[in-house]
Each structure stands twice: as C-alpha cells, then as structure tokens.
Structure 1
Amino acid sequence: MIAYVTSWSTVMPDPTYLTHINYAFGHVNDSFDGVRIDNEARLKSIIALKKKHPHLKVLLSIGGWGSGRFSEMAADAVNRGKFAKDCERLVKEFKLDGIDIDWEYPTNSSAGISATKSDTENFTLLMRDIRKAIGKKKLLTLASVSSGQYIAFDRIKTM
C-alpha cells in the first residue's frame, strides 16, 4: 500500500497500513541540474516514522502536475547527470529508500510545462542515469498515465 504524503499538509499517515510513502514533492531546480525539496522538515518527520515502523519505505517523489523543467534538464546530458547525482545525494542525506519521478508528462505540455518530441527518449536516459547514481538496491519508480503513452517502458525495463 502506497500513500502520497504532501509537503503542504500536516496529516500524518498511519504506517501500520502502509508499505511505502511517496513524499510529494521535490522539483527540478531553477538551474536544471538538481532537486529542490518542498518543506524538508516535513520530509524528515515522515522519514522518522521508520524508527517505529522499519518495514516502511520512503521515497521522494519529484514532479507532480505543473512541475516543470524536466524537459530542459533531461535534454542536456550534463544537467541530467548532475540531477541524477543530486538524487543520489538526497537518498544518502535523508536515508531515503528511493526516488519516484512524477513527470506529468513527457512530450505533453497540457500541465503548462515545456515539452518536446525528444522527451520520451530523454526520460529513458534520465531513468538510466538515476538508476546508475542511486544503485540497484534503491527503488526507482515513476508515475504514468494508464496507457503509458509518454514513456518507452520497453527501453526502461532493459536498463
């Protein structure tokens, strides 16, 4: 059972009924080469739940509806690499169990964010780079529309 827990709420989930919490949200930073976290103190309080509930996995969810800069960051190999390294830093610093990428949606600008036809390919490269940075033992998840139309799942699977 996964719950998205938001940075702007004060509600604390009951970890007894959960296996995973995705903390919402982090965002691509203004310089397109790292992550900005909304309300780090709240993230720390969510991670603290693991002390009494060691089964619980906590991931940082980066993105969300209207959260932009993905297209620009992922299109540039240097920025993409720096972003992936920053994901690695956050996993270590906050003792996260992984990263969740919530880019809504590659190639689609309906959320008021930039988009290009190359986003699907660049998304695949981004997932590859994050996987390499955080290692295979950490979780790397993504949010998608049910059709999966914006993501090359077959290419991500083989990374």
Structure 2
Amino acid sequence: MFLWPVLFLSALGGAGLASPADEESEHRSRRELQPSRDLKIVCYYSNWAVYRPSLSKFTPQNINPYLCTHIIYAFAGFNKRYELKPYDPYNDIEQGNYKKFVGLKQYNPGLKTMVAVGGWNEGSKRFSHMVSDRSQRQKFVRSAMKFCREHGFDGLDMDWEYPAFREGGKPEDKQGYAQLIKELREAFEAEALPRGKERLLLSVAMPAGKEYIDNGFDVRTIAKAADFLNLLTYDYHTAYESNTQHHAPLGAADGLRDYDDESRLNVRWTVDYYLNAGAPRNKLVVGVPTYGRSYTLEDPEDNELEAPAQGPGEPGNATREKGYLAYYE
C-alpha cells in the first residue's frame, strides 16, 4: 500500500479502509476527508489484493471513494497486436471488478478512476517493440482509447518499467516512449473534442533513479503531454542489502557529499532532478509508501538504522513476501 501532491499518491493494495458490511456508513463518515480541488491524491489499487487471505483480502468495494482524487487500477496488459487486455480476466471482467471499481463514482462523482498499463511484470520486450514503429504505436493508442471507454475508465496511466532497460530494452526506447506519450495525448484530445466528451486523462509513472531517468525518459516531452507524473519515490533500498535502510528517505543522510551515489537515493534529490529536467512543479505527484521493507538482523539487539542484516525479514501473514510488510502487518 502507498500514500503520495501534488502531493500525495496512495496505492490501495490491501488495506482495510472499509468492510463490505458497513461500506455505506463508512463512505458517509469519510466525506469530510475530500481534498481541495487543487490537490491530487492519486491512489493505486493492485488487483492481486483480492487473493490475499482472510481479513486482508481487499476488493474494489473496500475502497473509500472519498479518500483520493484519482484511483488507478493496476494493472492491465497488452497483447502481441498491441491491444490492451485485462491482466486477470476472471476477476477484472467475470467477477465484475472493473465495473465495481468505476462504480465508486456513484458515491463520489468527482472521483477519477483510471487504469494502469504495464508494471514490473510486463517488462520491456513488448513495450520496446511497440514504440519502435509509428503504426504499432497507433494500434496501441486506438486500443487504449477503446479500452478506457468500453470499461468506463477516465484515463490511462502508463507504467513501463523501464525504457532502455531489462530484457528487450533498447537505447531507442527513450525517443519512442516519449513519442508514444505525445501521440496518446494528441489522440485523447482529438477523440474528445468532436463528441463533446470529457477528455481521457493521461499520467505516466516515472522512476526515481538517475540512470533510469537519463536513459529512458525524455522528461520535458513527457511532462508536456501528460496531465501528471507519478514519481516512484520508494524502494531506494531493498531488504537484500547488508545493512538496514529506509527505502524512501525524504533527504540524504548527514555528511554525504553531492557527488556520492548515496546522496541521490532520496525523495528530495529525485524531485529536484525532475524540476531541473523541465517537469512543471504542479505535475509532480510524489510517491510515499505505506509499506515497509523488513530485515533479519545479525543481532536482534542492534536494531538501529544501518544495523548489520543477514537478509530479508520473514513474510507477513497477508502479503506473504519476504522483506515486505503492509502497514497493518
């Protein structure tokens, strides 16, 4: 689960914000939490949370529709013909989770519900091939518009992790991806204007690290085309490091010099880097994780930051992943 301004982004990956039994009363009690119109609280809902055990199972019906301004359903994929498809057809379509998700707007008409395409599991191979050719990009663009309209989503969140990296990635991905984002925005505008429809929104997930940014993302072009950028400002450190670390530090540790690599592993550095690269301040949505990375300590009595660690901590009962704990575990 994550919270992030333009100022917060939150991912609802399994939190018990409301139970189905009393969701109506919960919705009423939370209405005062609605943010001002200028604030973006962008939340990700991870669709695999429906498979968590017992009370940690989390469905679209558990989401408080007044908590966020935008909620993004993660993830959809796309096939070899560059057509968008549900990642989990059984739950997304057959069990009606897409409909339940966009149906949250019945409670909060001002809510925007979007769908994310990609994610870590999608990788780079298919993305890289798609963006390399205009005709292939256009197939994706047309499919994206059709997919969003058919399922009632208000927009698309592009989440390629990461252009020019991982299996199948190429240096040319940087230019191709920027062109895709530009073409998506142009198509969204062209599709909406003649019909008097509200334009589909477009957001892009952006990495925190310098190498990923420099080699894969034309920041100025993407920022101009997108409505907002979701900064992945977390997991600067992993649970597999030899010392305990904060995986989303706000600033650099005391004593670090600007040219030290470690000085770049914090939220402040990432935000400043995007601003200097030409991203408008009002389009940056900063990621704040509400999950933690856990460790198995060398010495249980030595439990401060940077304490020696043997490896990741034991899995939690809900998330069932070594080195990862939801906020409620």
Q: Same fold (TM over 0.5)?
A: yes
**By how many angstroms is 1:48 displaced?**
0.6
Structure 2 stretches lacking a partner, 5+ long: 1-40, 51-57, 193-198, 226-329
User: Match for residue 181 of structure 2?
Assistant: 127
d(CA) in 2 for partners of 1:133, 1:88: 8
- SS of the residue corresponding to residue 98 of structure 2 reads helix
d(CA) in 1 for partners of 2:175, 2:114: 24
Among 93, 103, 115, the alignment partner of 1:48 is 103
Alignment of 1:30-109 (within 5 A): 30-31=80-81, 33-38=82-87, 39-40=92-93, 41-68=96-123, 69-109=126-166
Supply the AA of the counterpart residue of 1:67: E
**By how many angstroms is 1:158 displaced?**
4.3
Q: For each residue in 1:13-33, what CA deviation from the matched residue of structure 2 results, as whole angstroms up to 9, or x when unmatched?
A: 2112111111011112133x2
Give yes or no for contact 1:87–1:134 (8 Å, CA) kept in 2: no
Give yes or no for contact 2:42–2:72 (8 Å, CA) kept in 1: yes
For these two proteins, the number of residue pairs brought into alignment is: 155
- SS of the residue corresponding to residue 9 of structure 1 reads helix
User: Match for residue 138 of structure 1?
Assistant: 200
**Root mean square deviation, CA, Å:** 1.6
Among 36, 59, 63, the alignment partner of 1:13 is 63
- SS of the residue corresponding to residue 25 of structure 1 reads strand
**By how many angstroms is 1:116 displaced?**
0.4
Supply the AA of the counterpart residue of 1:45: K
d(CA) in 1 for partners of 2:174, 2:64: 36
- SS of the residue corresponding to residue 15 of structure 1 reads coil
User: Match for residue 117 of structure 1?
Assistant: 171
**By how many angstroms is 1:82 displaced?**
0.7
The answer to whether 1:154 aligns with 2:208 is no
**By how many angstroms is 1:95 displaced?**
2.2
Structure 1 stretches lacking a partner, 5+ long: none
The structure with the larger Rg is 2
